[in-house]
Each structure stands twice: as structure tokens, then as C-alpha cells.
Amino acid sequence: MILDTNDIQKILPHRYPFLMVDAIVEMERLKRIVGIKNVTINEYFFAGHFPGQPVMPGVLIVEAMAQTGGFLLLQEIPERESKLLYFVAIDDARFRRPVVPGDQLRIEVDVVSWRTTFCKLAGKAMVGNELAAEATLMCKTVDRRA
């Protein structure tokens, strides 16, 4: 299965410059999802992080994990157009290698637990066969304000 940014934007509320998932390449309903983020020198954050030695901020790698997991979860939420997923906790975040322009992040997210309004996800971001980052993410479904 390959879903592109057009398909992703039908489910996720995020838009440029904050959409951090370019494609979905694997998905098992309510269990697991794999997304791709192509990291290019044109990313807005590289202008200041860091000039002359660009590195993708770790918080944005975690955000990419959350968006990938959010894509999986939002498909299961009735009336998702009126809902958002908010972070409530990030545990055990570890950054193992820098992510730089030209890298392709393979974002693997597994559902640890899911209740109607709360979920726990285990995320990993890989560059090739190397672990770049990992974290446990918790999020809550909230109503979107009109």
C-alpha cells in the first residue's frame, strides 16, 4: 500500500509547512503503520538549525512519529473532521543519530493500547538500517473548536 500526501491530507489536519509525512507504505488497521518522510535541504527549519551543519530537530522527528500514528488512529474515529489528537505525554524519547538533508526517515509506529479517547503508541524513526530516534507517545482525542 502506498498513500501519498494527497491521501494523507484527507485524514490528517496538518498542512505545509508542518505536515511531516510524505507517504504511507504499510498499514495494519489498529495495530501498525509505516510512513516515509523525505528530508530535503528545502525544509524551513534548516535555515536556523544549524547554519552550515543542518540537522532535523528531534522534536520534529517525534512529531513525524505522532502524525504517522495519528493517520492510523484518525481513520477509526467517527466524525474525525470534528476531532483532533493532542499529545498528553512523550516518554523514553531517545535520539541515536542526526537526521540530515538527503535522509529518508522510515517512521514505524505500533499501537500499544487504544481506548475511545486515549491511545499509547511506540514509535521508531529509521534512516536505512540505523535507528535515528524512538519514543513512546500518548495522545488524547479532543473536539475541534468551530
- Write down the mean pLDDT value for the chain: 96
Phi and psi at residue 54, in whole multiples of 5°? Answer: -65, 130
Strands (E) in the chain, as ranges, are 23-28, 32-38, 83-95, 104-114, 118-127, 130-143
- Average pLDDT of 84-102? 97
Instruction: Identify whether the C-beta of residue 35 lies closer than 8 Å to the C-beta of residue 71.
Output: yes
* Cα–Cα distance, 94 to 52 (Å, whole number): 24
Active site residue 49: yes
pLDDT digit string, tens, across residues 20-72: 999 999 999 999 999 999 999 999 999 999 999 999 999 999 999 999 999 99
CATH of domain 5-143: 3.10.129.10
- Which residue has better confidence, 72 or 77? 72
- Segments making up each domain of the chain, as ranges: 5-143
* 1 — pLDDT class (breaks 50, 70, 90): confident
- Reduce the DSSP state of residue 71 to 3 states and report it: helix
pTM above 0.85, yes or no: yes
Residues 6+ apart with CB under 8 A from 8: 19, 21, 22, 23, 24, 71
* 146 — pLDDT class (breaks 50, 70, 90): low
When computed from its CA atoms, the radius of gyration of the chain, rounded to whole angstroms, is: 15
Let me know if 135 is exposed, middle or buried by CB neighbors in 10 A (0-12, 13-18, 19+): buried
Of 14, 49, 80, 140, catalytic: 49
